[in-house]
Amino acid sequence: MGFTDTRFTVNLSILFTELPLLERPAAARAAGFTAVELWWPWPDNPTPDRAELDALREALEDAEVQLTGLNFYAGQLPGPDRGALSLPGEESEKFRKNVDVVADFAASVGCRALNALYGNRTPDADPAEQDALALENLTLAARAADRIGAVLLIEALNETESPHCPLVSSKAAVDLVEQVNAATGLGNAKFLMDLYHLAMNGENLAEVIDRHTAVTGHVQIADCPGRGAPGTGDLDFADLLRQLRQAGYEGWVGLEYKPGDAPSAGSFAWLPAPLRAAR
């Protein structure tokens, strides 16, 4: 299907969730993958005990898989919170407490991409106040990422599933990337191009790839509609990934799709086993 030049990484927060967290790296390895990514694994706790962090590190090392991406604290995912960094009060405080925890853990396992999800609009906060808070917290996250040689990722969600999120277009996310880079002077904020969310928003994916690949730090995929594995919806991933390569993208492509009713290991039939390991 034309995937031979693509490096795939499996999101263990949406795939293999039928297993406990610490068993998922080994399950991904058994399915043939050598790279994984994660949302923040403790949605109720931005500062877990050292023992929990050490146990996750050991699970990754024992499975011999590389952690390629990690989210900052974002509340309950999937769920209504959809991010914390722009939410005034307790949630943004949790985000700030989480920033160095994430950066330090990422550094310890060689992870060099950190994703920060914008929060929903809230009825009791001025949107301008939320945007100012978001920029402040994103600059904090960008500096923490820079400290470990990582990029800060900013993505657009889709308006159907996240109607209260202000980042529901590639332009909105890329504009924010530029604002963060201008505020820090570091240049390490990058666009997370999630092709599922952008397709749900009705964007022309070929145009998005042509326009924004130069500022893209990571790509995630799921088919649309349905958010299932490639081949369950309408997107032509062989062609989309070819376009990305032609536009100069050489980074990871995260599999962030729902496996369906069967165990996650059965959802990879679309990708031949020899193409799953990082090359």
Q: What is the pLDDT of residues 63-117, one digit of tens each?
A: 999 999 999 999 887 666 678 999 999 999 999 999 999 999 999 999 999 999 9
Start-to-end Cα distance in the chain: 17
Active site residues: 155, 256
- Phi-psi region at 227: left, alpha or beta (left = phi > 0; alpha = psi -120 to 50): left
Is the domain 7-275 a CATH 3.40.1190.20 member? no
pTM: 0.97
- Check if the beta carbon of residue 231 is closer than 8 Å to that of residue 270: yes
3-class SS of residue 64: coil
Count CB atoms within 10 A of the CB of residue 162.
21
**Whole-number pLDDT of residue 1:** 45
Beta-bridged to residue 189, according to DSSP, are 152
What are the structural domain ranges in the chain? Answer: 7-275
Residue 194, token pair as written in the block:
């999630």
pLDDT at 76: 80
> In residues, how long is the chain?
279
